[in-house]
């Protein structure tokens, strides 16, 4: 399956901007707070928000004195972000990072993929090359839907393509794209294969103890990947 992720994001950018502005995704209450807490604990001074969307996380960084740059391949979302904040926003497709292009304005002390990884292939080089745009003590964060998503949706517990990324969200989304859901074991295997890194996983729960998301913190070892 070859999902046309970026075409789908282009078609739905306006709708996405609206539901984020109106706080219409209930789980975001927990997951936004969770990623902000992890960032705060680590305390970077300069951060790259990869797949920044309309830029909420980048703007939050400015509020706490962190120099943040937002990167996204969806021009419409970068335009929304630029209207809402004065941070530096860059139009960038992850494909370029995979090809080995350094992040503009690197090095960063932290890079964050907040719900912006959808692919099955090339995620390892994407993460390894992103780590190469970080300082020697840099940290890479990934927040993704919790693997329990599979069981909750009555699917087999195995990594697999999920056909419609917009399913279950409020809003008038169209032209959904597929995304690759991983089991916890497959996430661990993927990250372990980056080499010269250590990592920690953290499960984020809603108040009623339902697992919502997984945050993976990846640390460079010896400053090299």
Residues interacting with ligand SAM, by CB under 6 A?
5-6, 9, 20, 51-53, 56-57, 72-74, 77, 93-94, 114-116
Residue 137 · residue 75 · CB < 8 Å = no
Of 116 and 133, the one with the shorter C-beta distance to ligand SAM is: 116
**Which string of b and e fits 59-73 if b means at least 16 CB within 10 Å?**
bbbeeeebebbbbbb
Q: In terms of CB distance, is 21 or 152 closer to ligand SAM?
A: 21
Q: What SS3 state is found at 76?
A: helix
Shortest reach from residue 56's CB to ligand SAM, in Å: 6
d(CA 33, CA 37): 6
Q: Could you tell me the smallest distance in angstroms from the CB atom of residue 169 to ligand SAM?
A: 10
CB of 210 to ligand SAM, least distance (A): 20
Residue 17 or 159: which CB sits closer to ligand SAM? 17
State which residue has the least CB distance to ligand SAM.
Answer: 53
- Nearest approach in angstroms of CB 192 to ligand SAM is 23
Closest to ligand SAM by CB, 121 vs 192, is 121
Q: Residue 147 in contact with residue 182, Cβ under 8 Å? A: yes
Backbone region of residue 143 per phi and psi (left: phi > 0; alpha: psi in -120 to 50; beta: other values): beta
Is residue 51 within a helix (H) or strand (E), and if so which, with residue range?
A: none
Task: Give whichever of 136 and 168 is closer to ligand SAM, judged by the CB atom.
Answer: 168
Q: How far is the CB of 114 from ligand SAM (least distance, A)?
A: 4
Which CB, 57 or 181, lies closer to ligand SAM?
A: 57
CA atoms within 13 A on the CB side of 128: 16
CB of 159 vs ligand SAM, minimal distance in Å: 19
Q: What is the CA radius of gyration of the chain?
A: 16
**Strands 179-181 vs 46-50: parallel, antiparallel or unpaired:** unpaired
């Amino acid at each position: 399956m070859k999902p046309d992720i970026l075409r789908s994001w282009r078609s739905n950018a306006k709708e996405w901007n609206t539901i984020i502005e109106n706080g219409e995704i209930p789980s975001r209450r927990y997951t936004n707070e969770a990623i902000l807490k992890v960032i705060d604990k680590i305390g970077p001074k300069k951060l790259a928000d990869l797949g920044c969307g309309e830029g909420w996380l980048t703007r939050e960084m400015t509020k706490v004195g962190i120099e943040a740059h937002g990167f996204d391949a969806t021009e419409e979302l970068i335009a929304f972000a630029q209207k809402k904040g004065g941070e530096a926003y860059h139009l960038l497709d992850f494909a370029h990072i995979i090809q080995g292009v350094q992040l503009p304005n690197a090095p960063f002390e932290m890079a964050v993929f907040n719900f912006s990884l959808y692919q099955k292939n090339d995620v390892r080089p994407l993460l390894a090359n992103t780590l190469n745009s970080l300082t020697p003590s840099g940290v890479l964060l990934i927040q993704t839907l919790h693997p329990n998503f599979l069981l909750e949706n009555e699917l087999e517990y195995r990594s697999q393509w999920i056909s419609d990324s917009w399913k279950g969200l409020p809003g008038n989304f169209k032209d959904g794209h597929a995304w690759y859901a991983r089991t916890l074991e497959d996430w661990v295997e993927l990250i372990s294969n980056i080499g010269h890194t250590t990592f920690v996983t953290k499960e984020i729960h809603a108040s009623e103890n339902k697992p919502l998301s997984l945050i993976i913190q990846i640390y460079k070892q010896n400053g090299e990947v």
